[in-house]
Structure 1
């Protein structure tokens, strides 16, 4: 499986596309203004305790108070509260926990009012970003994630990813971590640690310890509801979690981000540094690598499949519903069962991709085409589970119900990726009627008079639909030549297939659009 990462940087942030075998499977948007990313640690203030919910609402600076449930406090919350009080009061000066006396674990079935009080300060971590009308969801069971390990304060436990199957390897990793981890810190060993040596694991652990020391240093001076420690940016998080030898290329269109990504890849995986490339083409990076077209075809209510079948995806507040339709695929009575099986398999593959691509969370109900053979239903269920195995989000898939519906619950930690693929026609502005096409060139020339004569612009570029470009350039005595004699300068004409038939724009030498 060949993987590629395409990063499109803009003044408002970056859009990150993950491709597998040239097919778009994940799309992430990182906004510069987003201050509530999963993993960020804030100094929260308890605003309201809700005994009926066994939860508290916490002020972390968001427009709506964040939600902290008793079960998300973490067993060692009393130790965290004690440390916060001592560090902010100045009675605990050390940066690590070597001399810190931990408190007893809280009762799993306890009440939140017995643990926290109104206006109390508590460090909290963003577990789920603000979604729809809800504020962030929080956890006070703090953890700091690295590439190979995760550091967990107030614990001595060493946990190993279940995906590492070899008992010999699990024992080796446990012994390495036991010898290098600091006192009163637990460690979770991630899947990518398999076959890694002491040097890589120790370097990663030291980086996490350094972040903890930064947290302790900032804790006394941080104002309530402000961020104490930020998670790394979305690009680095993706690379940290999924970078492996399967990656062939990482393309970036911004020089500063290129340097950052290259430096980060060198830090976590030096042998893959050469795959980071700077996109230097004039063509937009997503258009050049075919991402734009895939986005337009993959998002929307109807998603077409290669074999002629299609999916209809509907969203509600509580769940997502996906209907599988065979479309124009022919099916005689003899092969109706086999046809349904093949369509369902094709749909299952696309549904697994759609869940990752749109980052759909919560409850997903899929209405597959009815199949009568129990073996086919079981094979489809197993096939769907196999396709969903590539999904990094936690999920549960239930077997088909007696109505033939498959239910999936998928972890949702950030807002669903929603891209509007239908556009208001720039020619008619939604009215359904346009000016006569015969007058289009008259409109263009009217703007030439304004731009070239009144504004005195030089070396402009006219960008139009490919059909209009072909019309302008047809024949020996082209429109461009006529314009050259009329205006005294050569006007460059470019096409953009994304434009509507009567849409046109003008650009200066810096590739900036000339506003009319």
Structure 2
């Protein structure tokens, strides 16, 4: 599979688009002055404890105070607090923990006001960025992510990613980790650590240990509340999490970012440095790689799929609702049941892509087309789980309910990605952009040509007809090159903006 990472840098933010075989599968955005990224560590100050919630509000210099629940304190809170105090007063210079005397673990069912007090300084980590009216969600159980492992201070636990299925490989990685991890630290071995040699693991461990030491030096002179350790810049963190041998190119329009990427690749995969390229063409980078067109088509309320089917995606305050529709495709399957299964399988693949693309979190309810066969329901459920395997965010999928609804929960750690795909038409307000409607028309046209219709004529609103026929390299000309058929387009002033119809050579409606 061909994998490309396209990075577009503007003055205020950076966009990251991950393409697999040319298809957009992930889209991330980093605001240049974002102070609260997942993974950032702060020396914070407790504002107040709330016994009713068994939680505390903590000052991390955000607009809204951060929320810290008792269960997010971590069992080694007292050891962390003691360590922080000793470092702050200059009484502890050795940050490796090999001579540090650990305190007793806190009670799992304890009360927040028994272990922390207002005005107390704490080391905390951002686990969920500020979303809407809520402040950041934080934890005082810290971790520092590397390429192959995650370093966990004040722990002796060594665990391996559940995505590594081989027990033999898990045992091998645990043995290697035990031989190199210093006293007082635990590690979580990441999926990309599979088949990695001990020398590479040790190098990654030393890098993360150095970040820990640098953070401890910051603590000594920091004034609470302040950030003492930043997560890697977004380019490096995305590469750290997703980079593998399938990457064929990493392209950016920013010379500084290009150098950052090259430097990172030199450190983790020197043989791959040549895939980092600087975009110099006059055409904007997202247009050059066809990303803008995909964004317009994929982020609207309605998402077209193969075979004329489509999704309708709605977002309420409490949850997301996705409705699967078969569209106006003709039934070429042997039965209605097979048609429903075919559309649902296509929809499951697209839904998995949409969840990752939009970074949708919380509760997602999917209304698939009704299926009465238990075998078909099981097949759909298994297919959806398989498609969601590559989704790095924690999630859980429940089997179809009595009403045919599939419920998904997906961890939310950042703002959902919402992109306006509609344009303003003076007479009718916001409507979908012509490029989006053109993709829907082409999907229907593709189906009609597969069904062997001849002499196809398209009737569409004046604006849409003009968009499809404008210029030598018009959309209609591209259709001609693709299908080897010339599609006659008739402008209809009476049509609403979104309406279009297909007719055959005999004037019979076929769309």
Provide the TM-score with structure 2 as the length reference.
0.83
Residue by residue over 1:171-227, the C-alpha shift from the partner in whole angstroms, topping out at 9 and shown as x without a partner, is: 332222222212211111111111111221111001111001111101021111210
Q: CA offsets per residue over residues 431-463 of structure 1, 9 Å max, x none?
A: 99xxxxxxxxxxxxxxxxxxxxxxxxxxxxxxx
Number of the residue aligned with 1:508: none
> Which residue does the alignment assign to 1:354?
354
Shift of 1:256: 1.0
How does 1:302-381 map onto structure 2 within 5 Å? 302-331=302-331, 335-381=335-381
- 2:62 corresponds in structure 1 to 62
> Are 2:146 and 1:146 equivalent residues in the alignment?
yes
SS in 2 for 1:314: strand
**Structure 1 residue 29: deviation in Å?**
0.3
Deviation at 1:391, TM superposition (A): 0.4
Cα shift at 1:424: 2.6
Equivalent residue number for residue 269 of structure 1: 269
CA offsets 1:471-511 (integer angstroms, 9 cap, x no match): xxxxxxxxxxxxxxxxxxxxxxxxxxxxxxxxxxxxxxxxx
Q: In the alignment, which residue of structure 1 is the partner of 2:37?
A: 37
Shift of 1:170: 2.6
Q: What corresponds to 1:400 in structure 2? A: 400
Please give the alpha-carbon distance, in whole angstroms, between the structure 1 residues aligned to 2:88 and 2:172.
Answer: 39
TM-aligned CA distance change 1:360 to 1:431, over 3 Å: closer
- 1:243 corresponds to which residue? 243
The residue that corresponds to 1:74 in the other structure is 74
Matches of 2:413 and 2:86 in 1, distance apart? 32
Any residues of structure 2 matched to 1:25-424 within 5 Å, and which?
A: 25-331=25-331, 335-424=335-424
Q: C-alpha separation between the residues in 2 aligned to 1:466 and 1:40? A: 48
Q: CA deviation at 1:251?
A: 1.0
**CA drift at 1:89:** 1.7
State the SS of the aligned residue for 2:322. Answer: strand
Map of 1:488 onto structure 2: none
Q: Which runs of 5+ in 1 are unaligned?
A: 433-464, 471-516
Find the aligned partners of 1:320 and 1:281 in 2 and give their Cα distance. Answer: 39
* SS of alignment partner, residue 420 of structure 1: coil
SS at match of 2:179: helix
Secondary structure of 1:271's counterpart equals helix
CA shift, 1:430, in A, is: 5.3
3-state SS, counterpart of residue 171 of structure 2: helix
How many angstroms does 1:165 deviate by? Answer: 3.1
Distance 1:168 1:303 in 2: 43
Count of aligned positions: 437
Shift of 1:466: 11
Counterparts of 1:246 and 1:201, CA distance in 2: 21
> Residues 313 and 323 of structure 2 are in contact (CA less than 8 Å); yes or no, is this contact kept in structure 1?
yes
Residue in 1 that maps onto 2:450: none
Distance 2:137 2:44 in 1: 12
Tell me if structure 1 keeps the 8 A contact 2:397–2:408.
Answer: yes
Q: Which residue of 2 aligns with 1:6?
A: 6
2:41–2:229 contact (8 Å) kept in structure 1: yes
* Secondary structure, aligned partner of 2:220: coil
TM-score by length of 1: 0.82
Counterparts in 2 of 1:348 and 1:333: CA distance versus 1, 3 Å: closer
1:234 offset after TM fit, Å? 1.5
Distance 2:381 2:428 in 1: 46
Deviation at 1:325, TM superposition (A): 0.8
Give the SS at the match of 2:273.
helix
Provide the C-alpha distance between the structure 1 equivalents of 2:333 and 2:155, rounded to a whole number of angstroms.
63
- CA distance 1:259–1:405, shift in 2 (3 Å): same
Larger Rg: 1
| Shift of residue 334, structure 1, vs aligned partner | 5.8
CA distance in 1, matches of 2:167, 2:360: 35
Q: Deviations over 1:25-73 (max 9, x none)?
A: 1100011011100000011111111111111010100010010011111
For residues 177 and 109 of structure 2, the distance between their equivalents in structure 1, rounded to whole angstroms, comes to 32
CA distance in 2, matches of 1:206, 1:64: 36
Q: What secondary structure, in the 3-state scheme, does the structure 1 residue paired with 2:241 have?
A: helix
Structure 2: segments with no counterpart, 5+ residues: 432-466, 473-511
SS in 2 for 1:156: coil
Distance 1:335 1:429 in 2: 41
Q: Which moved more, 1:193-202 or 1:129-138?
A: 193-202
Alignment partner of 1:341: what SS? helix
The Cα offsets for residues 307-347 of structure 1, whole Å up to 9 and x where unpaired, read as 11111100011100000111111238961111111111111
Which moved further from structure 2: 322-331 or 281-290? 322-331
* SS of the residue 1:219 aligns to: helix
Q: Secondary structure at the match of 2:109?
A: coil
Determine helix, strand or coil for the equivalent of 1:345: helix
Deviation at 1:267, TM superposition (A): 0.8
Q: Which has the higher mean CA deviation after the structures are superposed, 165-174 or 282-291?
A: 165-174
1:332–1:149 Cα change, 3 Å:
closer
In 1, Cα distance between the equivalents of 2:236 and 2:20? 18
Counterpart Cα distance in 2 of 1:180 and 1:65: 39
